[in-house]
């Protein structure tokens, strides 16, 4: 089984990368909880089995088994026995806007700004490098994340926008061909977590994001590094500004 149930999703693939340190059982649980909370793992989706999970995360099968048991106890996953069985995300598990707002309220304005500046530094650097290193073969995937890809009669949800935006930034990191920068971007997305779902409740924010995605894609395709960096800075600044405004609303 593929460790990326969403196919080519770079975000989900990052969930199943080796754990370097910390409490191993707790970290395995945290990875899967984050993937569910941010919508990378959907309700009813099958998880890798114990052997696949332990190999991907670089932990023992015992650790993987204990983590899955803990997640079952939390009601986050269920296990089905038999040939077509396995561990599945429970049907009532989905990203929570309420939880996202709670996470936002727990941070100070300085912490939000610091996360935003760090994300901006990494993404702008990746965009500049991507403009130098891109080929035509790189661009099709990036264009597919300009806005959520849905059927004609579907309206994209905030979660669909959030996932598309996350994949867009990770694809830029991949085009930049810097494994270190890509890992740093993944860590930052984990730190921001489900909070980035909130701005996409705003239709104007969604359309502005698509506009900037399109401008960044054009700049990268035409090897215009300065323009790619400027529009990427605008993109990340818009997210930080929105989160700070929302934070102020609930702390007034």
For the chain, which domains are there? 10-89 (1.10.10.10), 97-251 (1.20.120.530)
C-alpha 109: how far from chain center:
22
What's the mean pLDDT in 61-84?
A: 88
Half-sphere exposure of 131 (CA within 13 A, CB side): 22
CB of 8 closer than 8 Å to CB of 128: no
Is the pTM above the cut of 0.85? Answer: no
CB of 130 closer than 8 Å to CB of 220: yes
- Taking phi over 0 as left and psi of -120 to 50 as alpha, with beta for the rest, 87 belongs to beta
CB of 200 closer than 8 Å to CB of 240: no
In percent, how much of the chain has pLDDT > 70?
A: 89
CB of 238 closer than 8 Å to CB of 212: yes
pLDDT score of 222 more than 80? yes
What's the mean pLDDT in 205-225?
A: 98
CB of 230 closer than 8 Å to CB of 215: no
Whose tokens are 């993937």? That residue is: 35
In percent, how much of the chain has pLDDT > 90?
A: 47
What are the tokens at 77? Answer: 């996953």
What stretch of H or E contains 185? Answer: helix 179-192
- Which pLDDT does position 57 carry in this prediction? 84
Tens digits of per-residue pLDDT, 150-192? 777 788 888 889 889 988 998 999 899 988 888 788 778 777 8
What gap in Å lies between CA 116 and CA 141, rounded to an integer?
A: 25
Sign of the alpha-carbon dihedral angle for 116, 122, 125, 127: negative
CB of 57 closer than 8 Å to CB of 16: yes
CB of 120 closer than 8 Å to CB of 233: yes
Tens digits of per-residue pLDDT, 105-128? 999 999 999 999 999 999 999 999
What gap in Å lies between CA 130 and CA 157, rounded to an integer?
A: 29
């Amino acid at each position: 089984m593929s460790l990326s149930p969403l196919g080519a999703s770079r975000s989900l693939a990052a969930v199943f990368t080796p754990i370097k340190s910390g409490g191993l059982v707790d970290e395995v649980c945290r990875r899967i909880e984050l993937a569910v909370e941010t919508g990378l793992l959907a309700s009813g989706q099958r998880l890798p089995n114990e052997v696949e999970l332990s190999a991907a995360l670089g932990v023992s099968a015992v650790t993987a088994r204990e983590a899955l048991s803990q997640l079952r106890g939390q009601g986050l996953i269920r296990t089905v026995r038999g040939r077509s069985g396995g561990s599945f995300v429970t049907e009532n598990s989905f990203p929570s806007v309420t939880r996202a707002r709670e996470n936002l309220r727990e941070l100070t304005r300085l912490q939000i700004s610091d996360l935003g500046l760090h994300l901006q530094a990494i993404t702008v650097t990746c965009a500049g490098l991507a403009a130098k290193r891109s080929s035509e073969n790189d661009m099709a995937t990036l264009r597919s994340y300009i806005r959520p890809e849905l059927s004609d009669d579907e309206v994209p949800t905030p979660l669909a926008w959030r996932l598309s935006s996350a994949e867009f930034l990770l694809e830029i990191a991949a085009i930049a061909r810097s494994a270190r920068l890509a890992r740093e971007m993944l860590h930052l997305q984990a730190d921001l977590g489900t909070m980035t779902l909130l701005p996409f409740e705003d239709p104007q924010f969604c359309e502005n994001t698509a506009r900037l995605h399109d401008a960044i894609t054009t700049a990268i395709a035409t090897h215009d590094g300065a323009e790619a960096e400027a529009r990427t800075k605008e993109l990340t600044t818009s997210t930080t500004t929105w989160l700070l405004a929302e934070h102020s609303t609930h702390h007034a």
